Amino acid sequence: MFGFKQSKNVLFLFLFFFVFLIALQPSLADVSNMRLNTDFTTELQNEEMIWVSPVDSNIVMAVWRDFRLGFRKVALGVSTDGGYTWVDSLLTGGVYLRYSDPAIWCDRFGNFYPLAMNFSWSSYGECNLALWKTTDSGTSWLGPWYAVHDTVNEYLEDKEFMTIDRTSGTYDGNIYICWARFPTPTRIMLVRSTDGGVNWSDTLVVGSPDEVEGFSSGQFSFPLVDAYGNVYVVWQGYIEINETRYNCQRMVKSTDGGQSFTYPSDVIMINNEIWQAPGGINIFNMCAMDADITNGPYRGNIYLAVPNGATPEPNSPSDIIFIKSTDGGDSWSEPLRINDEPEDLPIYQFHPWMVVNQEGVIIVFFYDQRNDPPQYRKFDSYISFSFDGGETFTTNYRVSDVSSDPGDALKNIDRDDSYQPPISPSATLRPLAGLLGEYIGVSAYYDRIHCVWTDTRDGNQNVYYSNFTIPLLPPRIYSPEDEIYVSDNPLDFRWAACGFFNEVHYDLEISTDSEFVSVDLTYSDIDTNFFSITPPSSEITYFWRIKAFKVADPLQNQYSVTRSFTVDLTTPYIPELIFPVDSSVVSDSMPEFFWSEVLLLTRGEISAPIFYTLQISTDSTFTSEPEQFEYTDIYTSSFEIPEPLPDFKTYFWRVQANDEAENKSGWQDHPFQFSMEAHICGDVDDDWDIDLSDVIYLANYYLKGGDPPPDPISRGNANGDEVINLSDVIYLANFYLKGGPSPHDCGNYSQ
């Protein structure tokens, strides 16, 4: 018995001491910004990609395009201590001297696979896609093996990306590579390997459809494997609707391990094709994708981020937009804007990359020019996270700690191989694949993030790297908008999830003091990112904010920006109807309506702005039948309707006053009534024009008893004496043939 107690005490002391030692260990320090390429040249480095091993977070590898020798090569960076120190070297062993378009991937066992386009400068079409492999964290290498090896100088294989099935399913370990094959018509190609990259299938055309031709038929293809082993390829292309081309992202899907694919579908229409950001940075509608293959609540989701014009106007600034599919690509969500700067600023975001970590967190990394007003020319790298399956994205987090000047990206541009396979006839004018390359990279091991990007802080292009733990960020507010008016209707608050709901909770604080020296209302320990309240009853302005805090340590917290709302509980007065007057006859088919203005001064010190709703109906009870017209959000006390009312009918009209707090007045007890008899005086034949045919029509009717008479008869009363006779014929002929006075009551008519 004693011995048993002694054993328990010893075990307890051992565990206590072990936990104590763990507590003394420092947490992983962040690598803020570190240069990876170790050359001492001022040559270019760009087009980065990075992966961290899923079985050993100490092993991190990155690739990038590297001009340190004066021409295109691909460099590989290897870290064996989690990204704190690196060794970089150039890939070798290919058939040709030059390399470009690097990519890298890792399978679920921690084997790394660098991939590059290997090509000859001497002849168009002498190129292949070369793959290397390491099974021992970079100590030794296998390959290169050739996924594609062109020997007939016929094609140029461009912008290859890869993915590996990591699902443990039927096609686990399959490697898929897709790319654009030139020359025109461009086609999106795919090959697959089922033995770790040693052998490859024949090339398979997966897009675009045969009827789509030209350089724009496809570029920047991206492969993806979902949680169930389905393979997707998405690329930048276009569709034709009524002989008009529209930019879009197109997609095909395979359910048999990449052996066959569906006909291309349209994933998302693009506002416009973006080309260049300030500073001469070429940018593209190139998407980044990933899938949730975890066992979490969002397993099976497919995610896509793509730069898109903020508006359909040409030369519009670009946003990073996000969509998702929860049904295997059959349907997609409405676009969600990831970047969080004010929407009215002319700021460009571009070159997104995406990864989903082992816990289902969506991570999107991108370039952003927000920190250089008013030109918005210098660029930084930013990142954003989604903890709720892409429903919301966090406040954007700046990764680069120095802004880069794009003017420093063009140093030493003169070299012997500035040729880049074009995606359009004019693209040959763009040097070196879009100035900064066309992509950057991000990878993650749980909440540890690894980023690589092109940086010009040193006066030329270099590869910079950062690693850090996902921080607790200030809550990003989605709704309500700032400075709104509210009544006693429920007020809904929504913000971005700052972490998983079992790890991060929230407080909603409301105060009459914008500095929150005192807090009037607090709703505590909210375990979601949505909350609804009944507004306070005092008609004053309130300020509110969201506090996010770690459940395990509430002292780790962040506050959102402060927003305000104003309570207005006063119902607007009912407007008085003015014109058209009651029981009148209206001859203008698009009449202008007038009513009395409801003044804010009559509604108290706190008054929400007033707007009006106008209803016109052939039914005095204003049901939806038979004909009813409604015009909303009218901020003046008059309104000219935009389309003609049908003629020769009796109408009723009424107006309601609304305010921005959602208070509404009643309707008038007695709607006004008017009859519509719209016509142009002198337009005898009712073709909405006065010409010779009207003179002949009226003369034929009056002099020869022609049939039918003008309808209504007043159309023929040109001189206004309420009698149709020879003087009307002469009057109308004089107006049309000699420029005489206009027909009666038609002074605003011009021939």
One-character DSSP codes across 357-394? -TT--EEEEEEE-TTSTTTT-SBEEEEEEESSTTS--P
CB within 8 Å of 478: residues ≥ 6 apart: 392, 494, 495, 496
In the chain, what percentage of residues exceed pLDDT 70?
A: 87
Q: How many CB atoms lie within 10 A of CB 123?
A: 10
Numbers of helices and strands, H then E, in the chain: 3, 47
- pLDDT for residue 602: 57
pLDDT value at position 330? 95
* 179 neighbors 157 (Cβ within 8 angstroms): yes
Among 46-60, 405-419, 622-636, 733-747, which stretch is predicted with the lowest mean pLDDT?
A: 405-419
- Split into its structural domains, the chain has a count of 5
The first and second tokens of residue 33, run together, are 């910004």
Question: Is there a single domain that holds both residue 79 and residue 123?
Answer: yes
Say which residue, 240 or 16, is predicted with more confidence: 240
What φ, ψ does residue 730 adopt, rounded to 5°?
-65, -40
pTM, 2 dp: 0.83
pLDDT tens, position by position, 565-576: 999 999 999 999
649 within some domain: yes
Task: Report pLDDT digits (tens) over 185-240.
Answer: 788 999 999 999 999 999 999 987 666 665 557 889 999 999 999 999 999 887 77
Residue closest to 386 by CA, chosen among 346, 347, 356: 356
As a whole number of angstroms, the distance between CA 638 and CA 314 comes to 35
Q: Which two tokens stand for residue 232?
A: 């997707």
For residue 679, which of 663, 690, 691 has the smallest C-alpha distance?
690
- Which helix (DSSP H) or strand (DSSP E) does residue 448 occupy? strand 448-455
Mean of the pLDDT values across residues 249-259? 96
- 245 and 205 assigned to the same domain: yes
Question: Is the pLDDT confidence value at 14 over 50?
Answer: no
Q: 214-228, 233-247, 384-398, 578-592: which has the highest mean pLDDT?
A: 384-398
> Token pair 């093996």 is at which residue?
145
| Residue 308, strand partner residues | 319
* 494 plus 559 within the same structural domain: yes
For the domain that residue 693 is a member of, what is the CATH number?
1.10.1330.10
Instruction: Indicate which CATH number applies to the domain containing 582.
Output: 2.60.40.10
**Does residue 44 lie in a domain region?**
no
Rounded to the nearest angstrom, the gap between the alpha carbon of residue 437 and the centroid of all alpha carbons in its chain is 22
> 590 Cβ partners below 8 Å, 6+ apart?
640, 641, 642, 643, 644, 645
d(CA 286, CA 275): 11
Angle at CA of residue 284, ends 324 and 91, nearest 5°: 95
- Final residue of a structural domain among 227, 256, 285: 256
Whole-angstrom distance, CA of residue 600 vs CA of residue 623: 31
Is the same domain home to 585 and 652? yes
For residue 506, pLDDT over 90 is answered with yes
Query: Is there a single domain that holds both residue 689 and residue 670?
Result: no
103 inside domain: yes
Within a domain: residue 242?
yes
pLDDT single digits (tens) 280-338: 998 988 999 999 999 999 999 999 999 998 777 767 899 999 999 999 999 999 999 99
Do residue 195 and residue 227 come from a single domain? yes
57: nearest Cα among 78, 25, 83: 83
How distant, in Å, are the alpha carbons of 360, 463, 549 from that of 470?
Answer: 13, 22, 14
**Quick one: 644 and 687 in the same domain?**
no
Say if CB 733 and CB 718 are below 8 A apart.
Answer: no
| Angle at the Cα of 308 from the Cα atoms of 189 and 214, rounded to 5 degrees | 40
Same domain flag for 496 and 541: yes
Q: Is 297 exposed, middle or buried (0-12, 13-18, 19+ CB in 10 A)?
A: exposed
Question: Is there a domain that residue 638 lies in?
Answer: yes
Does some domain include residue 231? yes
Backbone angles phi and psi of 334, in degrees to 5: -65, 145
Separation CA 382–CA 363 (nearest Å): 11
Q: Are residues 668 and 694 in the same domain?
A: no
| HEC string for 311-331 | CCCCCCCEEEEEEEECCCCCC
Domain boundary among 567, 591, 618: 567
Kind and range of the H or E run holding 733: helix 726-738
Q: Where are the beta strands (DSSP E) in 387-447?
A: 397-398, 441-445
Do 587 and 672 belong to one domain?
yes
Q: How many CB atoms lie within 10 A of CB 6?
A: 10
CA 714 to chain centre: 58
Least confident of 208-222, 449-463, 606-620: 208-222
Q: Kindly state whether residues 88 and 60 are assigned to the same domain.
A: yes
User: Do the beta carbons of residue 652 and residue 562 sit within 8 Å?
Assistant: no
Contact indicator for 316, 309 with CB cutoff of 8 Å = yes
DSSP, collapsed to helix, strand or coil, labels residue 600 as helix
Q: Is residue 412 part of a domain?
A: no
The Cα–Cα gap between 45 and 56 comes to 28
Please, are residues 52 and 59 in contact by the beta-carbon 8 Å criterion?
yes
Q: Which of 256, 281, 312 is the last residue of a domain?
A: 256
Mean pLDDT of the chain: 88
538-564 pLDDT tens trace: 999 999 999 999 999 999 999 999 999
Q: Are 436 and 46 in contact (CB under 8 A)?
A: yes
Pairing mode, strands 563-567 and 484-486: parallel
Residue 269's beta-bridge partner residues? 248
Kindly compute the dihedral angle of the four CA atoms of residues 89, 90, 93, 96, in this order, to the nearest 10 degrees: -170
CA distance 742 to 730: 12
* pLDDT higher than 90, residue 681: no
Give the rounded percent of residues in the chain with a pLDDT score beyond 90.
67
Strands 584-586 and 672-676: parallel
What tokens appear for 210 in the block? 């045969």
Q: 439-448, 526-535, 693-702: lowest mean pLDDT where?
A: 693-702
List the domain range (segments joined by +) for residue 495.
477-567
**pLDDT of residue 731 exceeding 90:** no
Domain membership flag for residue 327: no
Residue 544, token pair as written in the block? 């509110």
DSSP state of 644: P
Residues 659 and 600 in one domain: yes
Helix (H, G, I), strand (E, B) or coil at 714: helix
If you average pLDDT over residues 528-532, what whole number do you get?
98
What was the pLDDT predicted at 272?
64
